[in-house]
Structure 1
């Protein structure tokens, strides 16, 4: 009986150790992303500075969208192909009148990855009409979250226009 209790205690200790290790890893990644995310208070990143040969020219489009999404992906990444791509299609279907999505192949765009502090794919960067970074979503982001963020940017732009 005591041998069974000892084995159970070992299993519990291993489970606690794994839990603590995973929790510490998540906290580390979260802190790293927080420290390296573009900070609006320290000069916003502008889409105008992105090399036009790397993507469509969002800012100089005839009718500039109110929201631009830079979707960093990798063709070899299953999450990008199977999960994020359909979500981006749904976003265009729902808000195509105010949003433009530019897909960026992350492995071939290291300078853009560095500029927006992209450390994982898929990553979506939402920019307002002036090209300022509104938010960066690391990893898969569902349609509901993206639509909420788009609506926030549009509402903010509407409030700024009303003040002008």
Structure 2
């Protein structure tokens, strides 16, 4: 019986430690997301194609060896562009070489997408894969704000 009690106590302690680690991880991600959303607006130089347009821009952070970036995130972004292409621009960023932007937006993992409004302010940060529907909702929220 004592052996069973000891195992039960060890199991309880392990569960508590795992719960603490999960809560701490979520708090870290939430804090990093808040810091990213508070970043200074990103100023883009206008290309000829979009000289007079105000676009919602999505910064798509990836790396050359990121399988999820190429098999999941890229197709989701392509679907989003087909749905609302004239109002959206996707800017692909190599997270390995662009340390300035990965630090500015507190990129924790790839893929990461940052949805910027027409003024360059971050409105959403998605760590990990973000599906087309989620990105479309984030873009629509910005476009709804711009229309009002």
The bucket for the TM-score relative to the shorter chain is: 0.7 to 0.9
Q: State the 1:48 CA deviation.
A: 2.3
Which one of the candidate residues 56, 65, 78 is aligned to 2:67?
Answer: 78
Q: Secondary structure at the match of 2:119?
A: coil
> What is the number of equivalent residue pairs in this alignment?
148
Using structure 2 for the length normalisation, give the TM-score. 0.82
- Give the gaps of 5 or more residues in structure 2: none
Q: Would the aligned equivalents of 2:32 and 2:106 in 1 still touch at CA under 8 Å?
A: no
- Give the gaps of 5 or more residues in structure 1: 50-56, 160-164
Please, what is the CA RMSD of the aligned residues?
2.5
Q: State the 1:130 CA deviation.
A: 3.3
Distance 1:105 1:87, change over 3 A: same
Q: Would the aligned equivalents of 1:73 and 1:80 in 2 still touch at CA under 8 Å?
A: yes
Q: Would the aligned equivalents of 2:114 and 2:122 in 1 still touch at CA under 8 Å?
A: yes
Distance 1:97 1:24, change over 3 A: same
Structure of higher RCO (CA pairs closer than 8 Å, 6+ residues apart) = 2
Q: Would the aligned equivalents of 2:36 and 2:122 in 1 still touch at CA under 8 Å?
A: no
Using structure 1 for the length normalisation, give the TM-score. 0.75
